[in-house]
Amino acid sequence: MPRTLPILDLSSWREGDRASLAGIGAEVGAACRDVGFFYVVNHGVDRELIERAFAQSHRFFALPLAERQALAIETIGGNRGYSGMLHEALDPGRGPDMKEAFNVGLEIAPDDPDLLSKQPFRSLNAWPSLPNFRETLLAYYDACAALGARLHRAFACDLGLKPDFFDDKFDRPMATLRLLHYPAPPQGSEPRTGAGVHTDYGNLTLLATDDVGGLEVRARNGEWIEAPVVPGAFIVNIGDCLMRWTNDIYVSTPHRVVNRSARERYSIAFFYDPNPDATVETIPSCVRQGERVRYPPILAADYLKQRLDASKPEEAARG
């Protein structure tokens, strides 16, 4: 795996300064057009908050299985709650994934109008009985959402749009904070595919990992690039929704997780998806002369539902 993913330093980015925004936008845009993956360092999310979020993840997955299953996604709804081992099949040809997860969405009140009118992906979060779990994860969620919004200003700048182009499409996003646990392979067994080859569904993903590697990215030439652990960094990748918006100018890149170690692996992914009622349609400036618009407009909620349904093992088998 000779190639490496670019590492972008956000420390030079000063809010309100167009020159620094243009510089970061150009770097981000180059990475999005090439491999679709990059690291960000000096990103503004507090290191201690990240560590506390991982500590809570360890505590959650150490709970008895019955307590985790009481918060099952099928029960909670809205893409929130616990997803058990073998519950998903991101690469149907390889069978179900060897991982478990816990999802947190936008925190809303019981009397929220979107909840009362049963809008898609509007549900109450479910919380285990763990001290400071809710407070820690909501603080982490908010910090990642702020970073996701900043990166969208860089996208907008690179694409020739006003910096605030995406703001009103992400003010109540379907963003999902996902705790992930990959078990250690049995001694002497082959490495386990924790997440089969797939692309992400939304606009971007912010991934924090422990010190166990496993993420691999497939470049456009078919080579697999290892994404080693960079302490303090987020791994950022473009999802299919943003690729649609940019008419394939930005790349949503296939990737997988293979646990080649003898240890458990923990990671935390933040999937930044638009508002449910946002229309995902090709940005006019992304249609080069002589090219066609590759994707019809679609509501963000409809698109996310299609993709989530297709990742369920029973749906994948029917398809």
24 CB-side CA count, 13 A: 27
> Which tens digit of pLDDT belongs to each residue from 237-293?
999 999 999 999 998 999 998 888 878 999 999 999 999 999 999 999 999 878 899
pTM of the model: 0.93
- Position 317 confidence tier, pLDDT thresholds 50, 70, 90: very low
For residue 308, the model assigns a pLDDT of 82
> Which tens digit of pLDDT belongs to each residue from 56-105?
999 999 999 999 999 999 999 889 999 998 887 677 777 788 899 999 99
Q: Taking the domains of the chain in order of start, what are their residue ranges? A: 7-318
State which H helix or E strand residue 101 sits in.
strand 100-104
For residue 100, the model assigns a pLDDT of 95
Nearest residue to 223 via CA among 34, 97, 90: 34
Instruction: Give helix then strand counts, H and E, for the chain.
Output: 9, 14
The distance in angstroms from the start CA to the end CA of the chain is: 33
- Above pLDDT 70, what percent of the chain? 95
Nearest residue to 159 via CA among 34, 239, 250, 238: 250
> Which tens digit of pLDDT belongs to each residue from 32-47?
999 999 999 999 999 9
Report the distance separating Cα 213 and Cα 150, nearest Å. 27
Residue 273 token pair: 């998806």
Q: What is the CB neighbour count within 10 angstroms for residue 38?
A: 21
- Above pLDDT 90, what percent of the chain? 71
**Residue 74 CB-density burial (10 A; 0-12 exposed, 13-18 middle, 19+ buried):** exposed
Q: Tell whether the model's pLDDT for residue 227 goes beyond 80.
A: yes
Domain 7-318 has CATH 2.60.120.330: yes
Q: Tell whether the model's pLDDT for residue 313 goes beyond 70.
A: no
